[in-house]
Structure 1
């Protein structure tokens, strides 16, 4: 009789022969009834199991599961115990631990599940080491004897099947993704390459016990939406970046990151400007280093520029330039313009394309230069008389368009400073300005009229002297900064004075060479004069008067580029018919000896004699 078992025996009574058959039937019925009663008593009372219904264990941790059981056997036999993990396919399940050394346990349970109890003593205790997530589930105890005991403590019979729960912080976080576009794509690893406008779905899964809370992070910013799925219905370039799924429970957290890239067509074209050389450094102060689409770029005549076309696209774009004359440059994003002139003005186009699409952007280049005359001489300057007024026009070309002002006899006249008899109007057509002066006044005298066009880079002057006999035009221009203009003016003035002095010297020298030489005898005849002979140092004065009336000299009309010079006032000629006393005029005459061998007489004291000459 086993320690935890229960026995029974049958008693046979003596019977008569005639009742032998019926007696045997009765005995068999009694035996069967008693046997059934014993079986019911065995199931209900002799087979018991004491074990915890729920056993938690940390992943990679260790747990001890205490267990006691009872059984009934009519024979003394050796009992072997088995622990099985319940499995839906295999019955009773996967063998994880046993006291039967001839049985093989599951490979995943080797050296981790240990049966530490003695089943012959009713001990079914179990130890689990290095618990894994796969260890979680319900377990079944079964005993087998070496004679006839074979019993499973299943839940259907009312026995407890312990549930081992492997608890842990989240781990093994994975992100799966799908792209719904023309071609459906899906995967479990990154990076994700989507095209602008695609629908992208991210799904996050994590192993943990208890179940984790899942939330999404892009870069360093939390995404308000939580849950295992994150959907981007129409992805944009701004949606590109790193997406992180974070799983949390009370035991800890874990995360997984995936990179999302977005392919898109070229956009956001900008132009980066580098000025290689500058004629006037102050011109570009504060100028932005980048010029966006549609902006105007101003450069100075003579400068050199390096223009870089920058395009935002993925994958990167190839670019090329189209010049204002329609010529296409080589495949390059760098444009170099050297020694700029007005002919370089116009619209420059940068065209970019990649495998998705193409785009182009334009900037307008303006070349700044000082005022200058129009190529058509008829449009430069005109001046004519109308009734009691004169009308003058002048035209300048410049970039930026010049400001025009007039000077009439030194008085400055502009559109804003016009008077009743002085009116100025201007017409601007692109980089050409035409100004008109309508002046009402005295037309019987000459007028000095100057038209001045100026901008930051220089000044151009046109002089239109208006005379009663006609109008002529002279022009002069200068460019540069005010300091340069002042220095140039001083140098020009000094140079003009030098030329004037040289001219006066040459004129005086020529007059001396061309005047005829006369002898002393031809000038003074000592036999007739009655005056002593004068030597070369004698000075004789005379009041010789002009014979006839002198008229003012008008002279030839002024030619272009000749400044108007006021006529010198002519002295009034005395009237010879009046009775006023004659004025005495004196003249100094110097006589030189023709023959160089004759030496003049040496006078001890220089004498000056005077002679009054009157006209009869």
Structure 2
């Protein structure tokens, strides 16, 4: 053999060895293992390479493209030699079995994959990409690629198999609808089914829905999408529209969308809950909710509208909360502790650009009476005054008074009045909360109580009615005592009066001890008492007066007035007139005594010489004389008394033949009269003359007609 022939033989043996470096030589079968790489240089093993995704998943009925590239040694072929590629299922004999896809027109493919599996690209350029159309369940398997080119390159890449998995059809068509459909305005709806428009077959599209019942235009279908023209109506709002696709093997899929047709807010509802849980109670139209003070309350408002409406809660034209258009379709208002101020009408308003809608509920908060007070309207005031529990209510005697009891409560409280501890019957009054006193008297002073009650509790307010009135002088009197002439003066008034004494034209105030006059005054409650003691002999011009005064008036009374004594603020003319009147009265009394006295024969006891002349205010006329004045005397009244003293009897043994004549003269003032007005201090007066004879003696025989007698003369 020539050296050239030996060289060619070595090259052929080397080429055959290289064909089994990275895979199985063509025609060796699936089970044959590659020859040991130790027999060949490592650089030759890398000449056969393939790059492909190991696991590919496709949904049933859809198509999938599997990208793939490969390389092989540059020997045994020229650029013009064709390159054939084959894709086989695992366990398929590459010499006798049929591939699932190939670019060799002389090689038949499997019947089940014909037309569905396609080798994409040209193996001459190193492309081994595979397209699978209309994937079926039986297509799930492992696949490998084989390349043939020239006389040497025949190789399969079993070490780089591709696993194809087929799952259920999950892909749904996508429906594209404008966000807002205007009623009566045409719009276009689009249904798209994703896929490879070049390599995959187009599905069949269909549209169904109530909104299509009045549509005249038919949909237009394309390879991977469908176009539907519509003219929405108001009633199409929230109507469902369905787009369906059907693939060649009968597998189908569909999707639906709810139409949003623009409209004004509608279907507004209000619900509430008395706890912070999700339990709610729906309210009817324009309802009322009753809750107790301090309870939890949650109000919810929801409405339908497109574009989404703005919701708001309003209380008495005051916005409490609101939601933006992009927010939730409901609005919650929470009142953690409901109070009386939360009561009122709550309105939920729903508004968008096409209109508005609103509903309301009345919230009534129930609670026991509180903030109880009495409004007082005195007769001489136009504005009412507010009085609370325990306050004093001063009012002038004779005035009218109106008391109005006011309380906050729900349900409304029942009002009643108590005077002291006794309830008042106001059945004649149309309003039990109003107490009217047409003319307040001193006897009305005391506590008045208003009571408010309802089913949840009660409350009361008590006022002290303090009746104010001018001074009233009661029974001034005088008596002789060891210290001298003592006169007492008492007055009642509210506020308590101050008592003043006038001795002649001299004013004696307060508790004082000015010789020869001593004044002592005390007061308790509405009463004021004062006593004046004169430590000197009475003069014929003595005048003694008592005066009581407070903020509401003045009352003056003459306690003792002798002839010639001036009145406080008076002149000498008045005193002279009073003296003349007293003189005339004394003359008249003397004549009457002389005419009326009869003699009585008795034994006369001798009077003790130098006997004292008593001056006592005792009712025993033999002991002295008494002066007493009543309230209401005017300062210019006539003299109250002239003091005279009869001789005292020294012995009780009287002689029968001696006649004894004596008389006692007493002048008294009027009995107490009703008090007049505040400034009027004048009173009427009268005088009384009493004439006594001797005490009656023992009766004598029937023929003896001589008796001791006495007579009484009263002058008015």
TM range (shorter): 0.5 to 0.7
Q: Does the aligned pair in 1 maintain the 2:392–2:465 contact within 8 Å? A: yes
Indicate the residue corresponding to 2:300 in structure 1.
203
2:180 aligns with one of 57, 63, 80: 57
1:265 and 2:368 correspond: yes
Indicate the residue corresponding to 1:560 in structure 2.
628
SS in 2 for 1:34: coil
Indicate the residue corresponding to 1:31 in structure 2.
111
Q: Does the aligned pair in 1 maintain the 2:176–2:191 contact within 8 Å? A: no
Indicate the residue corresponding to 2:78 in structure 1.
none
Indicate the residue corresponding to 1:451 in structure 2.
546
Indicate the residue corresponding to 1:179 in structure 2.
274
Q: Distance in 2 between matches of 1:383 and 1:361?
A: 51
Indicate the residue corresponding to 1:518 in structure 2.
none
Q: Structure 1 residues 410 and 129 mapped into 2: Cα distance closer, same or farther (>3 Å)?
A: same
SS in 2 for 1:228: strand
Matches within 5 A, 1:450-489: 450-455=545-550, 457-465=552-560
Q: Distance in 2 between matches of 1:334 and 1:162?
A: 70
Q: Structure 1 residues 510 and 460 mapped into 2: Cα distance closer, same or farther (>3 Å)?
A: closer
Indicate the residue corresponding to 1:117 in structure 2.
219
Query: Over residues 314-366 of structure 1, what are the superposed CA-to-partner deviations in whole Å (9 max), with x where a residue is unaligned?
Result: 21222222223624425643434455432222112222222222222222323
1:362 aligns with one of 462, 465, 478: 462
Q: Structure 1 residues 201 and 320 mapped into 2: Cα distance closer, same or farther (>3 Å)?
A: same
Shift of 1:262: 0.8
SS in 2 for 1:33: coil
Q: Distance in 2 between matches of 1:150 and 1:381?
A: 135
* TM-score normalized with structure 1 length: 0.53
Q: Structure 1 residues 123 and 428 mapped into 2: Cα distance closer, same or farther (>3 Å)?
A: same
Q: Does the aligned pair in 2 maintain the 1:49–1:68 contact within 8 Å? A: no
1:140 and 2:243 correspond: yes
Q: Does the aligned pair in 1 maintain the 2:477–2:627 contact within 8 Å? A: no
Q: Structure 1 residues 420 and 293 mapped into 2: Cα distance closer, same or farther (>3 Å)?
A: farther
Q: Distance in 1 between matches of 2:580 and 2:544?
A: 29
SS in 2 for 1:316: coil
SS in 2 for 1:55: coil
SS in 2 for 1:238: helix
SS in 1 for 2:180: strand
Shift of 1:174: 3.1
Shift of 1:385: 6.9
Indicate the residue corresponding to 1:342 in structure 2.
442
Indicate the residue corresponding to 2:453 in structure 1.
353
Q: Distance in 1 between matches of 2:459 and 2:366?
A: 15
Q: Distance in 1 between matches of 2:182 and 2:516?
A: 106
Shift of 1:423: 8.4
Q: Structure 1 residues 132 and 447 mapped into 2: Cα distance closer, same or farther (>3 Å)?
A: farther
The runs of 5 or more residues in structure 1 that have no matched partner are 1-20, 73-78, 84-94, 97-105, 156-160, 276-280, 468-474, 476-488, 512-553, 568-616
Q: Distance in 2 between matches of 1:426 and 1:506?
A: 36
Q: Does the aligned pair in 2 maintain the 1:271–1:309 contact within 8 Å? A: yes
Q: Does the aligned pair in 2 maintain the 1:401–1:430 contact within 8 Å? A: yes
SS in 1 for 2:114: helix
Query: Over residues 14-72 of structure 1, what are the superposed CA-to-partner deviations in whole Å (9 max), with x where a residue is unaligned?
Result: xxxxxxx999x9999543221433895579xxxx9998735222464644115588999
Question: Greater Rg, structure 1 or structure 2?
Answer: 2
Q: Does the aligned pair in 2 maintain the 1:60–1:131 contact within 8 Å? A: yes
Q: Distance in 1 between matches of 2:523 and 2:349?
A: 68
Q: Structure 1 residues 309 and 68 mapped into 2: Cα distance closer, same or farther (>3 Å)?
A: closer
Indicate the residue corresponding to 1:88 in structure 2.
none
Q: Distance in 2 between matches of 1:382 and 1:60?
A: 112
Shift of 1:163: 7.8
Query: Over residues 67-119 of structure 1, what are the superposed CA-to-partner deviations in whole Å (9 max), with x where a residue is unaligned?
Result: 588999xxxxxx99632xxxxxxxxxxx30xxxxxxxxx4xx36555653355
Q: Distance in 1 between matches of 2:586 and 2:506?
A: 36
1:314 aligns with one of 384, 390, 410: 410
Q: Distance in 1 between matches of 2:250 and 2:477?
A: 129
Q: Does the aligned pair in 1 maintain the 2:344–2:363 contact within 8 Å? A: yes
Q: Does the aligned pair in 2 maintain the 1:53–1:163 contact within 8 Å? A: no
Shift of 1:194: 0.8
Q: How many residue pairs were aligned? A: 425
Matches within 5 A, 1:118-517: 124-131=227-234, 134-135=237-238, 139-142=242-245, 152=252, 154=254, 165-166=260-261, 171-180=266-275, 186-189=281-284, 190-208=287-305, 214-223=311-320, 228-246=331-349, 255-272=358-375, 284-285=380-381, 288=384, 291-305=387-401, 307-324=403-420, 326-329=422-425, 332-373=432-473, 393-415=488-510, 427-435=522-530, 445=539, 447-455=542-550, 457-465=552-560
Q: Distance in 2 between matches of 1:510 and 1:392?
A: 28
Higher helix share: 1
SS in 1 for 2:113: helix
SS in 1 for 2:116: helix
Q: Distance in 1 between matches of 2:409 and 2:257?
A: 61
Q: Does the aligned pair in 1 maintain the 2:394–2:468 contact within 8 Å? A: yes
Q: Structure 1 residues 173 and 436 mapped into 2: Cα distance closer, same or farther (>3 Å)?
A: farther
Q: Distance in 2 between matches of 1:113 and 1:180?
A: 50
Q: Does the aligned pair in 1 maintain the 2:468–2:494 contact within 8 Å? A: yes
RMSD of the alignment, in Å?
A: 5.8
Q: Distance in 2 between matches of 1:234 and 1:297?
A: 37
Q: Which moved more, 1:220-229 or 1:56-65?
A: 220-229
Q: Distance in 2 between matches of 1:443 and 1:499?
A: 21
Q: Distance in 1 between matches of 2:411 and 2:386?
A: 23
Indicate the residue corresponding to 1:482 in structure 2.
none
Q: Distance in 1 between matches of 2:289 and 2:518?
A: 74
The runs of 5 or more residues in structure 2 that have no matched partner are 1-95, 101-105, 119-130, 136-170, 197-202, 324-329, 591-614, 616-623, 630-636, 643-716
Q: Does the aligned pair in 1 maintain the 2:478–2:627 contact within 8 Å? A: no
Q: Structure 1 residues 27 and 165 mapped into 2: Cα distance closer, same or farther (>3 Å)?
A: farther
Shift of 1:406: 2.9
Shift of 1:127: 0.4
Q: Structure 1 residues 507 and 400 mapped into 2: Cα distance closer, same or farther (>3 Å)?
A: closer
